Every structure is written in structure tokens, then in C-alpha cells.
């Protein structure tokens, strides 16, 4: 039964760490209690009386109970002794019959963690090579698994929480690789649902750019950077032209036409006017003659 001993020892190592750290916490105190059962069971092999450390721990736990402290303490110590006896017996006896052990222990108050630990020990004892499950033990596990809970339990103690600064420094910015892109696609596909009504369909189409955005903006897609008044009110560009006369008349008509033109950008319109200015400058001599 080499398997049994080694796994038991492993669990105990884990628990021993716990005991050292959390001796005062009530909930954890109970945990350590249960673990010290196993721990001291082995210790006791070497020395018959109960471990004084254990007794201290028991009294600490009992003192943290809200009521009936002495009773709790005596109960715990009695339990320890009982457990030590039975493990003694079994060690010498050879055949391990968990059912007898547990039925002998008439424990009134048992924390879920205790039960969970006991179950895990039991499972470690019965842990075979894979695929071979022990049938008879299984039925009695039903009564005990109800105690397993997610709230009470010990952690693996492998990782430590990194402080936020180290987290930031560890994050190196790199362009997303193909793995990242495909993973993002997979994640998005988990909650992708077809639209449930017409409005949701329109929402989807708007996101893809197929449907126009409401309220309708008739300048969508045309990003000129210029407001509408810069397109229409082009009078200010006529500053350099004479204030009266046929040229002015002509330029005002040009401006009227340009203001109605939706296809040119503001820059192009100004260029048009500039071109006219240059043209008339050149022809100034001819015009002066007129």
C-alpha cells in the first residue's frame, strides 16, 4: 500500500503549511484541527500522550467558539484520542476498513471542511490505477460528499498575486499574432446569435455599414472637413476683384454656380476662383484699354 502512505504524506505536507499560518482563524482553525488529526496520528505513534501543541490549538479553537467552550475543547480532545486509537489499531491490524472507523466516531459537530478532507483522504486511499473504480466504497461516499463545498478549502499556494506595477511592466506590447486574432474570433463566436427581430437585424446591418445611420446625415461618406457655409458663401473670396463692372457681375455668377456644385471640394472651388483672378490679372492690360 505504498500509494496510500505517500499520498497521505503529501496532503499532510500541504496541511502542515496551513497549520503554521492560520492557527487563529476560526474556520481555518477547524481545518487545521482535522489535519492535525492525521498529522498527530503519526506523531503519536512515536509518543503516546497527545501533542501539547495540539492541545493548545484545540483550546484556541474552542475559545473562538461562541458558546460552550469547555465542552468544545473536551470534545475535540476526546476526538483526537479516539482517532489516535483507531489509527493505531488499523496500523497494526493491516486491513483498513474505513466504514468502521467512521462509524465509530460519533462526531456531533463536523465542519464541511473536515468532511471534505476526510473524503479526500479516503479517495486517496482508494485511488487505483485509472479505470478501476471501487464499487463498494462508492455508496457510502454519498453521505459524505454533501459536505464538499466551494467556499471552504485550501488553495494550492503556487502563485502569488502580482502587484499592479509588476503587472504593467510585464505586459509587453506586441502586435497581435495570428493566434490572438483567431482566438478573438472564437470568443466572439461564443455569444453570436442571429437577430431576434427586425430591429436587431437593422442594428447588425448598421454595424456592418450596410444600413445608413439614423438620423440620416446626407453628408455621410463625404468627409470634406469643411462646413456647409464654406461651400455656399464664397463671397469673401471676391475681395480682390473690382466692386463693380462686368467682371464683378461675371464672378458673382461664377460663385453662384460653384455654390450649387456638390461635387467639388472647397479647395477646388477656391482654386477655380484663384484661376480666374490670375487670368484677369494677366489680361489687365487689355482690359484697361477698354
Partner 1 sequence: MAARRVGVSSWHRVLSLSGRCGRCSSTNTALGKTVENSEDAREEIVLPRRKTWDKLAVLQTLASTVKRDPTAAHYMFQDDPYLMPRNSATARLFSLSKESGRNAAKYIIKEFPHFFDKILAEPNIPSLMPEICTPQIEGVSEEALKERINLRMVKASVDLFDQLLQAGTPVSLETTNSLLDLLCFYGDGESTQEKESEEKEDLEESEVNASEQETPKRPPQRGSHPSASRWRENNSAERIFKIMPERNAHSYCTMIRGMVKHGASAKAYDMYTELLNDRHKADVHTFNALITAVPFLKDRFLERWELIKTFLNHMAQQEVQPNVRTFNAVLKTLRRCGGVGRSMAVPVIKEMEALEIEPSLATYDHLLSIFYRTVDLAPSGIISEVLDDVEKRSFTPQDPDDGKFFISAMQVCCDLKDIKLAYRLNKAMEKGDNWKFLDMDRLNLYWSRFFSLLCMMEQIDVVLKWYKEMSPSLFYPSPKNILDLLQALDAANHLEMIPSVWEDMKQLGFSKRRDLLEELLSLMSRDQQPEEIQLAFAKCAEDIKTVHEQSGKDQAPVEWTGSALGSVTVVFSRAGRTQDAWSMMEHFQQINRIPTDLVMDEFLNCAKQTNSPDEAIKLVKLAVSLGLPSSQKLKSRVEKEFELSENQKKALESIQSDSDSSDSDSDHD
* Least distance in angstroms from the C-beta of 262 to partner 1: 11
* Least distance in angstroms from the C-beta of 62 to partner 1: 26
Among 157, 261, 268, 278, binds partner 1 (CB under 8 A): 157
Q: Is 129 one of the binding residues for partner 1 (CB under 8 A)?
A: yes
Q: Is 140 one of the binding residues for partner 1 (CB under 8 A)?
A: no
The Cβ of residue 69 has, within 10 Å, a number of other Cβ atoms equal to 14
Reported residue count of the chain is: 290
Q: Is 190 one of the binding residues for partner 1 (CB under 8 A)?
A: yes
* Least distance in angstroms from the C-beta of 159 to partner 1: 5
In the complex with partner 1, which residue's Cβ is closer, 84 or 126? 126
Q: Report the site for partner 1 in 256-275 (rule: CB under 8 A).
A: 256, 259
Q: Which helix (H) or strand (E) holds 70?
A: helix 69-93
Contacts from 112-116 at CB under 8 Å and sequence distance 24+? 112/147, 112/148, 112/149, 112/152, 113/27, 113/30, 113/31, 113/34, 113/149, 113/152, 113/153, 114/30, 114/31, 114/33, 114/34, 114/147, 115/144, 115/147, 115/148, 116/147, 116/148, 116/149, 116/152, 116/153
Among 16, 53, 88, 252, binds partner 1 (CB under 8 A): 252
Among 188, 225, 262, 289, binds partner 1 (CB under 8 A): 188
Q: Is 193 one of the binding residues for partner 1 (CB under 8 A)?
A: yes
Do residues 226 and 265 lie in contact, with contact meaning Cβ atoms separated by under 8 Å?
yes
Q: Is 177 one of the binding residues for partner 1 (CB under 8 A)?
A: yes
* Least distance in angstroms from the C-beta of 245 to partner 1: 16
Amino acid at each position: 500500500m505504498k500509494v496510500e502512505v505517500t499520498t497521505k504524506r503529501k496532503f499532510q505536507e500541504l496541511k502542515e503549511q496551513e497549520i503554521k499560518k492560520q492557527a487563529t482563524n476560526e474556520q481555518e482553525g477547524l481545518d487545521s484541527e482535522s489535519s492535525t488529526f492525521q498529522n498527530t496520528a503519526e506523531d503519536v505513534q512515536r509518543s503516546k500522550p497527545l501533542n501539547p501543541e495540539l492541545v493548545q490549538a484545540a483550546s484556541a479553537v474552542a475559545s473562538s467558539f461562541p458558546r460552550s467552550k469547555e465542552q468544545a475543547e473536551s470534545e475535540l480532545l476526546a476526538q483526537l484520542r479516539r482517532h489516535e486509537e483507531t489509527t493505531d489499531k488499523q496500523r497494526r491490524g493491516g486491513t483498513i476498513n474505513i466504514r468502521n472507523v467512521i462509524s465509530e466516531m460519533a462526531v456531533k459537530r463536523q465542519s464541511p471542511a473536515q468532511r471534505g478532507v476526510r473524503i479526500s483522504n479516503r479517495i486517496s486511499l482508494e485511488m487505483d490505477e485509472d479505470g478501476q473504480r471501487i464499487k463498494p466504497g462508492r455508496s457510502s461516499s454519498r453521505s459524505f460528499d454533501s459536505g464538499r463545498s466551494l467556499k471552504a478549502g485550501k488553495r494550492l499556494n503556487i502563485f502569488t498575486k502580482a502587484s499592479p506595477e509588476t503587472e504593467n511592466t510585464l505586459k509587453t506590447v506586441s502586435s497581435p499574432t495570428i493566434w490572438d486574432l483567431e482566438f478573438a474570433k472564437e470568443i466572439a463566436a461564443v455569444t453570436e446569435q442571429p437577430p431576434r427581430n427586425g430591429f436587431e437585424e437593422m442594428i447588425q446591418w448598421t454595424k456592418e455599414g450596410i444600413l445608413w445611420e439614423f438620423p440620416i446625415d446626407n453628408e455621410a461618406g463625404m468627409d470634406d472637413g469643411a462646413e456647409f457655409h464654406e461651400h455656399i458663401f464664397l463671397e469673401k473670396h471676391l475681395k480682390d476683384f473690382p466692386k463693380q463692372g462686368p467682371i464683378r457681375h461675371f464672378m458673382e455668377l461664377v460663385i453662384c454656380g460653384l455654390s450649387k456644385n456638390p461635387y467639388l471640394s472647397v479647395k477646388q472651388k477656391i482654386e477655380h476662383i484663384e484661376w480666374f483672378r490670375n487670368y484677369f490679372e494677366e489680361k489687365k492690360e487689355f482690359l484697361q484699354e477698354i
